């Protein structure tokens, strides 16, 4: 069994084994023509269940053969130009190379004595990101597993910095389009169900700052304490960017923490054409970025940045076996002092390789391309009488709904749209997302693949219309 351990004697085995895995994936990518096969959980579950985990196959080739059946054949492939559903990006090759290196070397970024140079690379990337945001000389941060964890940590810091320790009095303000991890974080932080105050959005799905100002004033008048204002720079559904300068001003006026959730919009930090859309983000006390959304990085790659490094002390605990107090005096950089995690992947290496090979402009141009594509997709949808499209996109999502000319029952139209989404997924020809707007069923394209064309968008709209019409045909016949 020792022949399976990666060490000085097994370098050749490692090379062969990983190369074979890379070959399989490369073949899959080169021959897969659809984002999905349409397999159902009922079809796939027995295949996975039938595998006896107590009878190993002994070698990698056999295990890879088996993996074709249980995973590779039926996986949902984000590199497909017709994968248009969630905030998943096709990944760039330098990052995948970084991933292969980081898992083989297997550094753990909690302490210097488990990572050495890895710690310094992560710190450089944090500084690089903070500088692009404009957070100033005292900024710091740490890589996290995703936007959810970044938001949780930012709100933890905000809670600790708040002007009261009475949790029942604390309020968080975020728009009705903000990510659900804000609510989840509030609960995890011990705040009550009333803690998150939902601020209405305007027609472009951006937070109404007049309503925010009124809510903050009401909070103060009721003797409650504003703990944080969460501005979203790129809402998950609409890609809308809250008015950051106005929100910063209000946060300053009411002396409350300003967090910017840029999990999606962070790609603008590298954009040669659209960086200005994030103007005002430099006033934030903390920022969430998800490199695994708009920097074309493999999952996971995310970070939380803070204006004042000292606030990260709220995540600092010392253990004799890991990061004893003396290491602070000895100026040994232990990233665990800033993180909610202990053992932690060296995800930063993927972004490092990306920047060293492609450069920031290269990544930013890819993001600009998908934003351009979304603008072109909006033109298509707005001109198409079969569809109602909600907002002209600032980033790269389109929310729309099929509206048949002959049917007026909104509930039936809801069902037709939901059916179209499901039928499309079952066909495997394309994958789109869904959401609700004003209680009604809508469909969503999240465009993160520069290989997707307007022809792809047009073709998928035809497929959706076809499925919806077929559904309505059948249901109207039954009704009559």
Ligand X SMILES: *Cc1c(COP(=O)(O)O)cnc(C)c1O
User: Which residues contribute to the site for ligand X (CB under 6 A)?
Assistant: 87, 146-148, 151, 179, 181, 232, 234, 236, 261, 263-264, 290, 302
* Closer by beta carbon to ligand X, 231 or else 468: 231
In angstroms, what is the minimal distance from the CB of 237 to ligand X?
9
Residue nearest to ligand X (CB): 147
In angstroms, what is the minimal distance from the CB of 295 to ligand X?
12
* Closer by beta carbon to ligand X, 122 or else 347: 347
In angstroms, what is the minimal distance from the CB of 345 to ligand X?
14
79: exposed, middle or buried (C-beta count within 10 Å: 0-12, 13-18, 19+)? middle
In angstroms, what is the minimal distance from the CB of 160 to ligand X?
21
Cβ–Cβ under 8 Å, residues 158 and 225: no
The packing angle between helices 181-188 and 147-161, to 10°, is: 50
In 3D space, the residue among 420, 399, 430, 433 whose CA is nearest the CA of residue 473 turns out to be: 420
In angstroms, what is the minimal distance from the CB of 234 to ligand X?
6
Q: How far apart are CA 77 and CA 74, in angstroms?
A: 9
Per DSSP, the three-state class of 198 is strand
* Closer by beta carbon to ligand X, 151 or else 335: 151
In 3D space, the residue among 199, 193, 198, 191 whose CA is nearest the CA of residue 170 turns out to be: 191
Which alpha helices (H) appear in 189-272, and where do they start and end?
Answer: 209-221, 244-253
* Closer by beta carbon to ligand X, 84 or else 464: 84
- Count Cβ neighbours within 10 Å for each residue of 194-232 and write b for 16 or more, e otherwise: ebbbbbebbeebbbbbebbbebbeebeeeebbbbbbbbb
* Closer by beta carbon to ligand X, 291 or else 402: 291
Q: Is the dihedral of CA 410, 415, 416, 422 positive or negative?
A: positive
Cβ–Cβ under 8 Å, residues 302 and 149: yes
In angstroms, what is the minimal distance from the CB of 48 to ligand X?
25
* Closer by beta carbon to ligand X, 169 or else 259: 259
Backbone conformation region of residue 190, classed left if phi is above 0, alpha if psi is from -120 to 50, else beta: left
* Closer by beta carbon to ligand X, 257 or else 402: 257
Cβ–Cβ under 8 Å, residues 402 and 384: no
In angstroms, what is the minimal distance from the CB of 302 to ligand X?
5
């Amino acid at each position: 069994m020792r022949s399976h351990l990666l060490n000085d004697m097994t370098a050749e085995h490692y090379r062969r084994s990983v190369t074979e895995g890379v070959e399989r994936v490369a073949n899959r990518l080169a021959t897969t023509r659809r984002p999905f096969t349409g397999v159902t959980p009922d079809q796939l579950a027995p295949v996975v269940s039938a595998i006896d985990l107590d009878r190993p196959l002994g070698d990698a080739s056999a295990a890879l053969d088996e993996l074709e059946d249980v995973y590779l054949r039926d996986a949902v492939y984000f590199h497909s130009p017709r994968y248009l559903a969630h905030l998943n990006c096709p990944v760039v090759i330098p990052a995948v190379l970084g991933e292969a290196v980081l898992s083989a070397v297997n550094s753990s970024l909690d302490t210097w004595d488990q990572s050495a140079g890895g710690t310094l690379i992560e710190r450089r990337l944090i500084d690089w990101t903070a500088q692009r945001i404009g957070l100033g000389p005292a900024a710091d941060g740490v890589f996290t597993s995703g936007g959810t964890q970044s938001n949780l940590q930012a709100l933890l810091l905000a809670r600790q910095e708040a002007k009261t320790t009475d949790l029942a009095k604390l309020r968080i303000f975020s728009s009705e389009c903000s990510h659900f991890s804000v609510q989840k974080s509030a609960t995890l932080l011990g705040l009550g169900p009333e803690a998150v105050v939902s601020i209405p959005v305007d027609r472009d799905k951006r937070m109404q700052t007049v309503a925010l100002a009124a809510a903050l004033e009401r909070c103060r008048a009721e003797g409650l304490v504003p703990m944080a204002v969460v501005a979203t720079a790129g809402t998950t559904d609409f890609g809308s960017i809250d008015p950051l300068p106005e929100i910063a001003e209000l946060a300053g006026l009411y002396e409350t923490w300003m967090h910017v959730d840029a999990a999606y919009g962070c790609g603008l930090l590298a954009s040669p054409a659209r960086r200005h859309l994030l103007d005002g983000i430099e006033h934030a006390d903390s920022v969430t970025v998800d490199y695994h959304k708009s920097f074309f990085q493999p999952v996971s790659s995310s970070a939380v940045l803070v204006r004042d490094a000292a606030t990260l002390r709220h995540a600092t605990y010392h253990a004799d076996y890991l990061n004893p107090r003396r290491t602070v005096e000895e100026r040994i950089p232990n990233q665990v002092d800033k993180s909610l995690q202990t053992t932690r992947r060296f995800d930063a290496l993927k972004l490092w390789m990306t920047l060293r090979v492609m450069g920031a402009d290269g990544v930013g141009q890819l993001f600009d391309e998908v934003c351009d594509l979304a603008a072109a997709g909006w033109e298509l949808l707005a001109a198409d009488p079969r569809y109602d499209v909600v907002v002209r996109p600032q980033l790269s999502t389109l929310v729309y709904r099929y509206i048949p000319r002959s049917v007026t029952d909104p509930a039936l139209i809801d069902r037709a749209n939901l059916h179209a989404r499901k039928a499309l997924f079952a066909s495997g020809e394309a994958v789109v997302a869904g959401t609700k707007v004003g209680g009604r069923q809508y469909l969503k394209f999240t465009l993160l693949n520069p290989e997707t064309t307007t022809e792809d968008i047009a073709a998928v709209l035809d497929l959706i219309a076809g499925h919806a019409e077929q559904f309505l045909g059948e249901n109207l016949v039954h009704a009559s």
